[in-house]
Chain A
């Protein structure tokens, strides 16, 4: 069956520290992969999406970057976290764009 794994569930990091959030998908090949961020009480903001290995599209200029080293692996990174990077980060995948499946999210608090 198709599943998506996202970890960790919660993370508290100091300002200026690096970040690496990982998302992996099982049970499908060549999915489109997405990173969204949700600020408290707000909607979802698309950060990055990828249609294939090594192909990353950035939606908003910011302190974050994404990489797709393998077909079913999507990584969100930062070299130096800012307070404004706090939020709820969601990974998602889609094969036919008719149905997006989301991970359970990572709540990041930068202190």
Chain B
């Protein structure tokens, strides 16, 4: 069954604005990862945050993790049209060899 659930399902913003996507999960995790998928393509790893971390940055990306609420957020600052893609969170649970994905947020950045 799905572990992560992203919201919103779809997000449309203007270039230059910030985009925030959220992810909630149900069980304990070792880490939470965010991936990006361009239409009809494979997934690209963006960032990983471990269960003992609260915030992580990578370029224009900022990820937060609240293990007490079992939630994470991905913030893309100063968005660009090229950021248009679907974004997925995925959780790696303790003792498991598998990564479980949410349903994703489809982000559209309008020029």
Contacts and interface: CB of A to CB of B under 8 A. Distances in A.
Given A32-B97, A46-B98, A97-B92, A90 B40 contact: no
B99 A34 contact: yes
Interface in B86-106: 88, 90, 92, 97-104
Contact of B48 (A36, A92, A99): A99
Interface residues of A, number: 27
A46 B44 contact: no
B42 A103 contact: yes
Interface in B39-78: 40-45, 48
B31 interface: yes
A53 to B, nearest CB: 15
Interface in A71-93: 88, 90, 92
Given A99-B45, A102-B44, A59 B98 contact: yes
Interface of A: 6, 32, 34, 36, 42-46, 49, 51, 57, 59, 88, 90, 92, 94, 97-105, 107
16 contacts: A43-B104, A44-B90, A45-B101, A57-B98, A59-B98, A92-B43, A94-B99, A97-B30, A99-B33, A99-B48, A100-B33, A100-B45, A100-B90, A102-B42, A102-B44, A104-B42
Given A97-B97, A98-B92, A105-B42, 20 more contacts: A6-B42, A32-B97, A43-B101, A44-B90, A45-B101, A46-B99, A46-B100, A49-B97, A49-B98, A51-B97, A57-B98, A92-B99, A97-B30, A98-B31, A100-B35, A100-B45, A100-B99, A101-B45, A102-B43, A104-B42
